[in-house]
Structure 1
Amino acid sequence: MARGSTAGNMHEAEYSRGALLERLERETFDIAIIGGGITGAGIARDAAMRGLSVALIDKGDFGSGTSGRSSRLIHGGLRYLGQGHLGLVREALRERGLLLRLAPHLVWPTPFVLPLYEDSHHRPLRLRVGLAGYDLLAGTLGIGRHRGISREKVLLEEPQLRSEDLQVAFRYFDAITNDARLTLTVAQSAVRQGAAALNYVEGASLETTGGRIAGVNYRDLVGGGEGAVRARAVVSAAGPWTDRVRSLAGGAGLLRPTKGVHVVVPRARLAPNAVVAFGWRGRDLFAIPHGEYTYVGTTDTDHSGDPDCIEADYEDVAYILEAANGTFTTELSMSDVISAWAGLRPLLSEEGDPSHVSRDYDILDGPPGLYTICGGKLTTFRAMAEHLVDHIIEREQFSRRPARCRTAREPLPGGGAGDFARYKKGAVAALRDGWQMSEEVARRLVGVYGTDHVRVLSHAVREPRLLEPLIPGCPVLAAEAVHAVRQEMAMTLEDFLRRRSDLMLFGEDGGMA
């Protein structure tokens, strides 16, 4: 790709918040969605691709709630198999396989190592049977088959594992993602299909006409204006805020939110070669390598407070460090922690240990015109969206006949390159030779944006200085910040530093240099 030859043809019209707000006021939509996390974005994409008119609003940024605060795993849920949730695991494994095809730049297969110690809550024989079932349920969408690893070999592969009482280990495969960018990309796909998606627009109340929910009264948290979105059907996909939205219609609470915390430490201190899944005090945790860092989590504790006030407290971080130090030969301390994040799982209310509460989802109707979807997993968002849109179509009359669901076949923006590994190799070479980029910067650019990296470069055609690093020594380009504002709906510095890039989470200074 010669410098500017392709990128210059990919320049899009800039994102216009004003024009989208005008659409909210002017149009009557088929579906209005409250909640711009992965579930709401997935519903918007599915419905828009079927030809329905869609509005999507969120009182924060896209993916600023649960969807951007996860373990970043796209997985079948091996432990759910042990709990007997075969249907959930089968669906999640299918969705994992689809996402690897639809978004290869954002979802990538990764080896996992699971060491077993004498006091492990997993038993070797039972785990071997479970992993065989895991492989079998994945079917033709499987990534690779599990295998056992001897004590001696796993200590060679993962030399920081504690050797005392180590019995055996297993290697299996799942996938990793960038959760916030995945959510944003799904929302972008909905917009490219005609949806009106707006962040920082709060659903203040529900509009009722003739005993039926007919829209959402909103507040623009950026411009300060107010208005109403009229719609034939309103969907609550509000995650941890589901009960708050239901209360606007007089509905009872449904959720049992649990808090999950992760901490980030330098890879120089904790350096797993694969994702290490390990048990501690009856809970499963992961140590996940990420460039120069490793993040470890997660906790699973009940949270009864305000979902707007969620943070990693001292006890959460101390527990994770204790778990890591009990499994690895490291002696991590609070001074090693670069950053931490906390998120809420919007689990359906159920008695028992938080770790055993179902990760399945449910759809509830009512009052007329309002549909609520709650529960679920990051991995299964596409299937959840398909199910919900099918559910609405069966119950509502629209001016046009909706098409069948296409989301299992249509790649996400940036993912339509076919053989992505081959595409990435060629694109990186072109950036290196034609744009004089370093290998590190080129690989990151194509890895983050896929085929859409040319849209980022389009900003630098007129302003070559945008090819410079945003921060000296950092592979993130200044063009990415411009792209985030102009075409990715970034409204605040945190939107870019935390969700459009990883600088706030994976950086010594939180990207504030």
Structure 2
Amino acid sequence: MNHSFSSENRENMKNEMKTGVIDLLIIGGGIAGAGILLDAQVRGVSSVILEMNDFASGASGHSTKLCHGGFRHTKQFDMKRSAELAKERAIIHENAPHLTRPEPMLIPIYKEGPFDRWKTSIGLKMFDHLTDVKKRDRGEMLSKKQTLKIEPSLNGDRLKGSGLYIEYRMEDARLTLEIIKEAVKRGAKALNYMKVESFIYENGVAIGVIAVDLTSGEAIKLYAKKIVNATGAWLDRLREQDRSLNDTKLKLVKGLHLVFDSSVFSLKYGVYFKSKMDDKMICAVPYHNKIYVGMSETDIEDVSDVASYSESERDYLLENLGHFFPQLNLEKEDIISYWTGVRTFVQKSTKSKNDEYSNHEIIISDSKIISVMLGTLTAYRITASKVVDGICEQLKITNPSETESITLSGGHVGGSDLFSNYVKKMTKAGKELELSEQKINQLVERYGSNIGNIFAKMRTNKRHAKRWDLPSDLYAEIRYGIEEEMVMSPLDFFSRRTSYLYFEPHYVKENYKMVLHYFSDYFHWSPERLQIETNRMEEALASS
């Protein structure tokens, strides 16, 4: 069977890219690039995206996993931006209801604390009124008694009450993948592990790139009418390569998130609070039977500094948790995993006080390379629309953006209001396969309307799963990842496709060796390649 976005089809897709001149080449396989890919392809702009690592391996897979609706901007009374982000959040929720879910969040209000009850109440009312949020998502003020009833582990000393509002938790890496899958379904091409080494110029204008396939070492030339640099934290590296780096540069900030099991840290709602040491905001968010907390923020000079964290960064979060949740006595041994990501801000010679909250930045160099920086994941679609508007104008294409009404891959569940009904329906089918209700919910939230593909593979591949001594549902997910999501390695699967590495590291440790051998057999790896991938997995597990 031919699967267009399959690891098995990767070589064919690469060979097709070599012929002719494409309309648009996007460098960077995060959510910014993915959004541009889909928007452009739908409008009739033939589009290709290249990612030097795996898709969503940067900030798009290591965010705070909250689809912000713009509430924070009410503090600056920037209601236009709040309304814009609230609208975008609603669109994302409708187009991918399996990947976004309402998450009630508490803002504790303390005497002499940073939040004022009156101002918080006004902020919530302004946000609800001016951004036209759904009635079920409207905020409210709670008393001290109501707050502690919901979260009894919260520090009650000098607590006056709390503000309750709704954020949307999202599966950031999977959202990126579903956008790319939808674009590929419509004719776009996407390759991971393709590193752009240099640009090809003609009369000072970039007309193509030389890219190296990191899986084989093959170097290829690709020619395009338009080139977009959407590489996130790597943006300035390509701009420097293009000799277009000027006084508008990126500031890089590393963010650390810690994960705890609900047996040591349990929350009914998320909690959003200001650090007791400085002005930084921290959130603690429920995720199935885990809680994740983030983020500490540290300025860094280079993106290579993102991977690890220092004891001081970890202790910063633990100390804040000890202050706001003193009954729990959380220690470093309670941390089951972590992830680090990088936020990018534009540094200019002159900037306003709100520049750091910019939804996007678009820079066009003298060589006509379009560099795009995304300020918040929620704004990926409107940013893409603005970028593609400019590209279409130059290519004399008049088709408008359609992504507002495009249901993404996995989102065909009858709309956001009917998603719970879809989960119930799939629960019945999952129980027939002897899956627990918790596991079914996890799989449906991960794959949405594509869950039928997972269940079908479970039914037909029991013998193969047994041969490799793997749970049938895990084997089905791996097969789906290879056939439908261009999974090239176990780390791609355990990290970006499923998040097992961060939220179920013990499950990964139980199965990763057999998964490695399965990949080695399936892709015909050499002993050297198997050792490289084994080292990558073990380093990732040691880090988590």
Distance in 2, Cα, partners of 1:326 & 1:471: 45
Asked whether the 8 Å contact 2:233–2:343 carries over to 1, the reply is yes
TM-score of the pair, normalised by structure 1: 0.92
Query: What's the secondary structure of 1:252's corresponding residue?
Result: coil
Distance in 1, Cα, partners of 2:469 & 2:261: 19
Aligned to 1:404: 400
Does the C-alpha gap of structure 1 residues 366 and 356 become closer, same or farther in structure 2, counting only changes over 3 Å?
A: closer
Equivalences for 1:268-279 in 2 at 5 Å?
268-279=263-274
Give the letter aligned to residue 263 of structure 1: L
Distance in 2, Cα, partners of 1:319 & 1:352: 30
Does the C-alpha gap of structure 1 residues 125 and 266 become closer, same or farther in structure 2, counting only changes over 3 Å?
A: same
2:410 pairs, out of 414, 420, 435, with 414
Query: What's the secondary structure of 2:345's corresponding residue?
Result: strand
Matched, 1:486 2:483: yes
Query: What's the secondary structure of 1:338's corresponding residue?
Result: strand
Aligned to 2:119: 126
Equivalences, count: 500
Query: What's the secondary structure of 1:504's corresponding residue?
Result: helix
Give the letter aligned to residue 264 of structure 2: R
Distance in 2, Cα, partners of 1:420 & 1:469: 35
Give the letter aligned to residue 444 of structure 2: V
Aligned to 1:178: 171
Distance in 1, Cα, partners of 2:135 & 2:21: 43
Distance in 1, Cα, partners of 2:466 & 2:123: 49
Matched, 1:98 2:91: yes
Equivalences for 1:3-402 in 2 at 5 Å?
14-15=6-7, 16-139=9-132, 143-252=136-245, 254-280=249-275, 281-307=278-304, 309-329=306-326, 330-349=328-347, 357-394=356-393, 396-397=394-395, 401=397
Q: Residue by residue, what CA displacement relative to the aligned partner does 1:173-201 show, whole Å, maximum 9, x if unpaired?
A: 12001111111111111111111100110
Question: C-alpha displacement at 1:140, in angstroms?
Answer: 5.0
Distance in 2, Cα, partners of 1:95 & 1:468: 44
Give the letter aligned to residue 406 of structure 1: E
Distance in 1, Cα, partners of 2:487 & 2:60: 16
Distance in 2, Cα, partners of 1:448 & 1:260: 24
Give the letter aligned to residue 254 of structure 2: K
Asked whether the 8 Å contact 1:257–1:303 carries over to 2, the reply is yes
Query: What's the secondary structure of 1:311's corresponding residue?
Result: coil
Asked whether the 8 Å contact 2:79–2:127 carries over to 1, the reply is no
Q: Alignment identity in percent?
A: 29
TM-score of the pair, normalised by structure 2: 0.87
Asked whether the 8 Å contact 1:78–1:134 carries over to 2, the reply is yes
Distance in 2, Cα, partners of 1:300 & 1:353: 22
Distance in 2, Cα, partners of 1:376 & 1:140: 22
Equivalences for 1:496-511 in 2 at 5 Å?
496-509=493-506, 511=508
Q: Residue by residue, what CA displacement relative to the aligned partner does 1:30-75 show, whole Å, maximum 9, x if unpaired?
A: 1000000000011101111112110100111110000101000011
Unmatched runs of 5 consecutive residues or more in structure 1? 1-8
Distance in 1, Cα, partners of 2:49 & 2:3: 24
Asked whether the 8 Å contact 1:24–1:228 carries over to 2, the reply is no
**After the TM superposition, which of the residue ranges 325-334 and 58-67 deviates more from structure 2?**
325-334
Does the C-alpha gap of structure 1 residues 322 and 471 become closer, same or farther in structure 2, counting only changes over 3 Å?
A: farther
Question: C-alpha displacement at 1:118, in angstroms?
Answer: 2.0
Does the C-alpha gap of structure 1 residues 497 and 200 become closer, same or farther in structure 2, counting only changes over 3 Å?
A: same
Q: CA RMSD in A?
A: 2.5
Give the letter aligned to residue 417 of structure 1: V
Give the letter aligned to residue 364 of structure 1: I
Query: What's the secondary structure of 2:137's corresponding residue?
Result: coil
Matched, 1:459 2:457: yes
Does the C-alpha gap of structure 1 residues 475 and 123 become closer, same or farther in structure 2, counting only changes over 3 Å?
A: farther
Asked whether the 8 Å contact 1:97–1:141 carries over to 2, the reply is no
Query: What's the secondary structure of 1:287's corresponding residue?
Result: strand
Does the C-alpha gap of structure 1 residues 510 and 454 become closer, same or farther in structure 2, counting only changes over 3 Å?
A: closer
Does the C-alpha gap of structure 1 residues 470 and 286 become closer, same or farther in structure 2, counting only changes over 3 Å?
A: farther
Does the C-alpha gap of structure 1 residues 120 and 469 become closer, same or farther in structure 2, counting only changes over 3 Å?
A: farther
Asked whether the 8 Å contact 2:374–2:380 carries over to 1, the reply is no
**After the TM superposition, which of the residue ranges 497-506 and 134-143 deviates more from structure 2?**
134-143
Query: What's the secondary structure of 2:64's corresponding residue?
Result: coil
Question: C-alpha displacement at 1:466, in angstroms?
Answer: 6.1
Asked whether the 8 Å contact 1:44–1:56 carries over to 2, the reply is yes
Query: What's the secondary structure of 2:114's corresponding residue?
Result: coil
Does the C-alpha gap of structure 1 residues 423 and 509 become closer, same or farther in structure 2, counting only changes over 3 Å?
A: closer
Q: Residue by residue, what CA displacement relative to the aligned partner does 1:334-367 show, whole Å, maximum 9, x if unpaired?
A: 1111111111112111589999832431111122
Give the letter aligned to residue 422 of structure 1: N
Distance in 1, Cα, partners of 2:112 & 2:12: 60
Higher helix share: 2
Distance in 2, Cα, partners of 1:510 & 1:316: 27
Give the letter aligned to residue 240 of structure 2: S
Distance in 2, Cα, partners of 1:272 & 1:13: 38
